[in-house]
Amino acid sequence: MKTVPTSHVRLRGPLKALAGADREATTTRFLAAARTDADAFRGLIEMVNCTALPQEVLARPAVARAVEAADDGPPQPFPGPDREQLLRLLAA
């Protein structure tokens, strides 16, 4: 069984409302920024909870700066063990 990170499924949903050719790049950079920047993370939580639209969150100066500074490479793995590693640790 393969575990799919939450960011690849549920967190991209609200960002589908973004228009433009660079939507995927913006989504990737926003999710990367939300992992390290408090303003971007709060914006992500607001979008997931449907209390703010993606356009509103990305228009905030602090969030826009965080997204601009974020790496647009492949998403970094979540810290800590993956499922298989955790099972091995628990079995030891």
The answer to whether residue 46 is domain-embedded is yes
Average pLDDT value for residue range 64-76: 83
The answer to whether residue 27 is domain-embedded is yes
Residue range of the domain that includes 20 = 6-91
Burial 53-85 (b: 16+ CB within 10 A, else e): ebeebbebeebbebbeebeeeeeeeeeeeeeee
Each residue of 15-67: pLDDT tens digit? 665 656 577 888 888 988 998 899 999 999 999 999 999 999 999 999 999 99
The answer to whether residue 33 is domain-embedded is yes
Q: Is the pLDDT of residue 80 over 90?
A: no
pLDDT confidence band for 2 (50 / 70 / 90): low
Closest CA to 39 of 62, 20, 15: 62
The answer to whether residue 11 is domain-embedded is yes
The answer to whether residue 1 is domain-embedded is no
The answer to whether residue 26 is domain-embedded is yes
Average pLDDT value for residue range 76-80: 77
The answer to whether residue 29 is domain-embedded is yes
pLDDT confidence band for 5 (50 / 70 / 90): low
Q: Is 80 left (phi over 0), alpha (psi -120 to 50) or beta?
A: left
The answer to whether residue 17 is domain-embedded is yes
Number of domains the chain is built from:
1
